[in-house]
Amino acid sequence: MSDPVVEAKRDAGIRAADMVKDGMVVGLGTGSTVFFAMERLGERIRSENLHIFGVPTSNQTAMRAEEYGIPLTTLTLHPKLDLAIDGADQVDPKKRMIKGRGAAHLREKVVADAANQFVVVIDAGKEVAGLDAAVPIEVLPFAYGSVVRRLQELGGEPVMRNGVKKDGPVISDNGNYVIDCAFGAVADPAGLETAINAIPGVLGNGIFARMTEKTVVIVGGRK
């Protein structure tokens, strides 16, 4: 019996991939739903002779793109993208979101900012009335202690993200620490996003609240 969540993710990924047109440069997010989109893009490259370039947001995504036969490029060569496809951990009715369970949120935000259109693929379980998940924050290792103090002053409960199959902290693809900081219900996502980013030593956080106008949310299994 098929898993309905997996099928919803596959549906969302395929629908996003079918938005890509010949000649586009596409940001490729990180995570299982995006990988379904990448699988579909690989199929279209082979069957339709689709010509595209992808900009990966993580080493994992780059490896998967190579597996699917998606040619890769960089933001240096293509600083403006046609669209970016990515997932999310929570999305509210105003299309504000929390991302970063895969610790790629800093590169994902850079790529989303560079794109004309930000296509977010989720299953229905990621829809929420209000954002309340812990916020992933990428931190310069040198500044870890002072960042933790400042996050506590903001009312957060910061916790270092530790590895599952290795001892010690998770290290991002950029060589930094990742802190997961719980704030409870986030009444002002844009304000909190700005406040966290203003802390010296913070390189980026997983609240995406300032690109809603160009965001399209595709919920798998729902037309």
Is 100 assigned to a binding site? Answer: yes
Catalytic, 7? Answer no
Is 132 assigned to a binding site? Answer: no
Closest to 112 in 3D by CA, of 126, 96, 136: 96
Query: Would you state the structure tokens that stand for residue 201, as one six-digit string?
Result: 């030593």
Is 30 assigned to a binding site? Answer: yes
Is 87 assigned to a binding site? Answer: yes
Is 99 assigned to a binding site? Answer: yes
Is 33 assigned to a binding site? Answer: yes
Catalytic residue among 108, 138, 153, 193: 108
| String of DSSP letters for 71-95 | -B--TTT-SSEEEEEE--SEE-TTS
| String of DSSP letters for 174-198 | TS-EEEEEE-SS-S-HHHHHHHHHT
Question: Residues 51, 54, 60, 66: is their CA dihedral positive or negative?
Answer: positive
Is 88 assigned to a binding site? Answer: yes
Is 102 assigned to a binding site? Answer: yes
Backbone angles phi, psi at 93, to 5 degrees: -60, -20
Angstrom distance (rounded) from CA 141 to CA 127: 33
Is 146 assigned to a binding site? Answer: no
- Residue positions forming the annotated binding site: 30-33, 86-89, 99-102, 126
Residues annotated as catalytic are 108
- Residue positions forming the annotated binding site for substrate: 30-33, 86-89, 99-102, 126
